[in-house]
A = this chain, B = another copy of it.
């Protein structure tokens, strides 16, 4: 189940941080619109759920969790631009460049990315932890991580892809940013020995999550997915669900979720918040 109170805590904390922006003009309005566009806060929830399971005060992870959501949000704003995926809707609402304009959308993305690093620096953490976290943020969201996924996505557009290529895109474009909150939680909890297993969980969860999205793109509606149905086919985007068919794709992500839950159980965490969040994601229909 999703923790609605935790979701609200995350959204409020991002908005509190954004309130430090001096000029509440177009760029602020645009990034605030993007942040408050009904995102499910999956990435920050992963971080806080794991902290809960490690019996660490979640306040120690709140700013880092929010920084990750800000990086995720900037990537969506830029990804939706006409030169990129050219999407008019996201989560059922106009994308930032449609609601405002392209220039403001570019700047809003740049601003969110920059602010994210500022927000991630938290006085509740040691300087060493803060620095380790910034290194992970840059590494997993940058050109060796998420941005490389965007690059692959662009390069492969309109091409017939094989399974390996599709998984490669998902691993970079989604997996890295899903691993990120889990790795940061381990750093905050001083439990870095968990990182290799968490990286594996994050990578599989990213893949499962993305294959779900691909299935929803075939079978869902704008109201359910917030995007135009069949936009992958329209954009000549080869997805796992198109390559393998809906049934096979559903089977694959269900198996992935089973693997992930087994792996999380093997970590012998003190509680089940992460497990319950993953269970919620595995059953999502949006």
Contacts and interface: CB of A to CB of B under 8 A. Distances in A.
Interface of A: 20-23, 25-28, 31, 74-75, 78, 81, 83-84, 101-104, 106-107, 109-111, 113-115, 117-118, 121, 127-128, 130-131, 134-135, 137-139, 141-144, 147-148, 150-151, 154-155
Contacts of A81: 106
A111 B143 contact: yes
Give the copy number: 2
Interface hub of A25, A141, A148 (most chain B Cβ within 10 A): A148
29 contacts: A22-B144, A22-B148, A23-B148, A25-B155, A26-B151, A27-B151, A28-B143, A78-B106, A78-B110, A83-B106, A84-B106, A103-B154, A104-B154, A107-B150, A107-B151, A109-B110, A110-B147, A111-B147, A113-B114, A114-B142, A114-B147, A117-B117, A118-B142, A121-B134, A127-B127, A127-B130, A127-B131, A130-B131, A134-B134
Contacts of A142: 111, 114-115, 118
Contacts of A113: 110, 113-114
